[in-house]
Amino acid sequence: MNETLGKKMLAELMDVYDEVSRGLHPGKEKEEIQRVLSEINMALSRILMNIRHCHNADCPCQPENLIRNLVVMNQELLQKHLYTNQFIFLAGEFVKDGLPEIPKDQTDMKHLIGCIEDITRSGRIKTRFFYIDSKTKEVRDVTLELCETIEQYNQKAERIRATGEYAMKIPYDYKKGMAEYSFGCGLSHYLQEDIFEDISKEATSLTFPLASCKLSMYTHSDVTDILECQSVFDGKIQKSLEMRFAS
């Protein structure tokens, strides 16, 4: 298991556990998913810290075997509460003798991935955006297209503001192959999933289904450590993204 990826997944799974604890996940199985996630997180921590009770790889006490059994026995529950990439990581990494079947709606996902090249001292973020279709394995740079679509959305916002009403603008500029914007409200500023549909409605030549996409942001450290690329313009970045989101 890639140690960097393992640590990232552990952090994400701990976040999911926290979300469930705070009642942010629908469903009546709160205590059950908490138990399962707690056991998975503990086993994954043991792997990363190399804490083992014996040297027999086939022993049920080995953390890899514990995770495998938890994934197989709680597949439906985990798929309900985990993000697709998290479940695929657990199943792909630990279920060696037959990956649990993943429902069609889990494999037929669209992603918008923002890969950050730099955050300047003045707080300007420079990001390259990729569209990924997990079913067809299509991966392509959509930075310019996204910025042009956002500009069309901003033009409508200007027209609304001219009437005296408030309308939110997304302060993105296209420069040197990247979207540039201030830190603002997070790593993607005002570009959030809940307004993808509104942005799409203003597009005149959008060639990917933005409204159906799930947004994920990778910091520059993620690009180098997880995607194993030197920069967002590394020649292998699209293949690396395909392996993470469409394998």
Per-residue buried b or exposed e for 213-243, using 16+ beta carbons within 10 Å of the residue's own CB: bbbbbbbbebbebbbebeebebeebbebbbe
The verdict on pTM exceeding 0.85 is no
Q: What is the pLDDT of residues 128-173, one digit of tens each?
A: 999 999 889 999 999 999 999 999 999 999 999 999 999 999 999 9
Name the residue among 125, 134, 129, 121 with its Cα closest to residue 147: 129
What is the domain extent for residue 39? Answer: 3-99
If asked whether residues 80 and 180 sit together in one domain, one would say no
Residue 25 has pLDDT above 70, yes or no: no
pLDDT confidence of residue 229:
94
Strand extents, DSSP E, the chain = 110-119, 124-133, 138-141, 173-175, 178-182, 213-218
Q: Which of 99, 119, 151 is the last residue of a domain?
A: 99
If asked whether residues 123 and 25 sit together in one domain, one would say no
Q: Which of 79, 99, 119 is the last residue of a domain?
A: 99
